């Protein structure tokens, strides 16, 4: 099972769409894509749409925690979009659901930015 | 003498290479077995996450990233217990150092042990084998795990 990451510029900043299973095998792909985003200057907001992610493990969670820490260092805002029930369960299990800003839809996530 | 049929566990074994690309194969094979054992889809996802984390730990720590070894996953579905055994022939862990970390400390990594303890009632590392480790994960079927 592969993971696909599509990154695009939007008015508010950068939108990253992730789909597939994010596990020990595929999380380096997500991490590399995030690394490319952090190399760019002047990005104010990073939105990560997880609606296409069916499965995430601790390495995927670690990748997102690293992204959150990088965003904080760079003064960027990180918002996660549309967690499937299985992905949301993992966030709950890791007690991270209240640590991230999580939105139901892309429209909700860009509102007020 | 007739064996108590309900006490006989059905066992399924799967041998996979120690490459992370086979984690998906383990998850896919396990899901129908866990659901057929009577767990809810939500519990089945927790159990599969825990087994996936155990396999990842074997690849990372027991085999140090060597993808040429194997992991044997054996699932036993008994009337009272659902058991997953993971056998590797890699470096043995120092069991005294394995413990779930404080989840209040938000940082990357270290969640696998917590996921295993959340999904299973017993997590046992047998390091007294000639080679490697037998990790046994047991979930009681007769009580609801919080």
- CATH number for the domain spanning B118: value is 3.30.565.10
- What per-residue confidence (pLDDT) applies to B1? 42
| B43-80 residue pLDDT tens | 999 999 999 999 999 999 999 999 999 999 999 999 99
Domain annotation covers residue B62: yes
What's the predicted TM-score (pTM) here?
0.91
Which pair of tokens denotes residue A21?
């299973």
Residue in chain A nearest B116 by alpha carbon:
A93
Q: Which two tokens stand for residue A111?
A: 């509102």
pLDDT number for residue B52: 97
CA dihedral of B134, A55, B76, B137, whole degrees rounded to 10: 40
Rounded to whole angstroms, the Cα distance separating A110 from A51 reads 16
Contacts of B145 (CB under 8 A, 6+ apart): B43, B119, B121, B139
Kindly report the CA angle at B132 between B126 and B135, in degrees rounded to 5?
Answer: 40
> Which three-class secondary structure state does DSSP give residue A94?
coil
Nearest Cα neighbor of B73 from B130, B11, B131, B122 is B11
Across the interface, whether the CB atoms of B46 and A86 are under 8 A apart is answered no
Mark residue A70 as left, alpha or beta (left: phi above 0; alpha: psi -120 to 50; beta: remaining): alpha
Question: Do the Cβ atoms of A3 and A20 come closer than 8 Å?
Answer: yes
**Band of residue B3 on the pLDDT scale cut at 50, 70, 90:** very low
Q: What mean pLDDT is reported for chain B?
A: 90
Res. B10: pLDDT tops 80: no
- Residue B7 pLDDT grade (very low, low, confident, very high; cuts 50, 70, 90): low
Question: Residue B9's pLDDT is what?
Answer: 66
Q: Do residues A59 and B56 lie in contact, with contact meaning Cβ atoms separated by under 8 Å?
A: yes
Residue A57 is nearest to which of B42, B52, B104, comparing CB atoms? Answer: B52
Task: Note whether residue B145 is domain-resident.
Answer: no
Which residues in chain A have their CB less than 8 angstroms from residue B118's CB? 93
Cβ–Cβ under 8 Å, residues B98 and B113: yes
Instruction: Delineate the domains of chain A, giving CATH numbers in brackets.
Output: 26-35+44-113 (3.30.750.24)
* pLDDT for position B107: 73
pLDDT score of B144 more than 80: no
**A-chain residues near B103 (CB < 8 A):** 94-95
Return the axis-axis angle of helices B41-57 and A58-74, rounded to nearest 10°: 80
pLDDT value at position A22? 98
pLDDT of residue B106: 72
- At residue A34, φ and ψ (nearest 5 deg) are -65, -40
Low-confidence ranges of chain A (pLDDT < 70): none
Range of the domain at B56: 20-140
**Could you give the number of structural domains in chain B?**
1
Closest CB from A1, A23, A66 relative to B108: A66
pLDDT in tens, B93-114: 988 888 777 777 777 777 899 9
What pLDDT score was predicted for residue B146?
57
Q: In this complex, do B20 and A23 lie within 8 Å of one another by their Cβ atoms?
A: yes
């Amino acid at each position: 099972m592969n993971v696909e990451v599509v990154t695009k510029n939007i008015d508010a900043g950068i939108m990253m769409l992730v789909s597939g299973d994010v596990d020990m095998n595929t999380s380096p792909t997500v991490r590399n894509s995030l690394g490319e985003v952090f190399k760019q200057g002047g990005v104010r907001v990073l939105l990560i749409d997880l609606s296409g992610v069916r499965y995430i493990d601790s390495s995927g969670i670690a990748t997102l925690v690293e992204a959150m820490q990088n965003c904080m260092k760079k003064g960027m805002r990180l918002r996660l979009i549309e967690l499937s029930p299985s992905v949301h369960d993992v966030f709950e299990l890791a007690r991270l659901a209240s640590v991230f800003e999580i939105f139901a839809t892309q429209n909700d996530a860009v509102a007020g930015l | 003498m007739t064996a108590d049929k309900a006490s006989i566990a059905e066992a399924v074994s799967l041998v996979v290479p120690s490459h992370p690309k086979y984690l998906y194969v383990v998850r896919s094979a396990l899901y129908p077995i866990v659901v057929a054992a009577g767990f809810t889809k939500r519990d089945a996802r927790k159990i599969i996450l825990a087994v996936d984390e155990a396999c990842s730990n074997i690849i990372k720590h027991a085999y140090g990233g060597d993808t040429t070894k194997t992991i044997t996953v054996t699932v036993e579905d008994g009337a009272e217990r659902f058991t997953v055994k993971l056998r590797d022939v890699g470096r043995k862990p120092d069991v005294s150092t394995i413990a779930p970390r404080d989840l209040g400390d938000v940082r990357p990594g270290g969640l696998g042990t917590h996921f295993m303890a959340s999904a299973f009632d017993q997590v046992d590392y047998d390091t007294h084998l000639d080679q490697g480790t037998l990790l046994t994960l047991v979930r009681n079927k007769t009580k609801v795990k919080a």
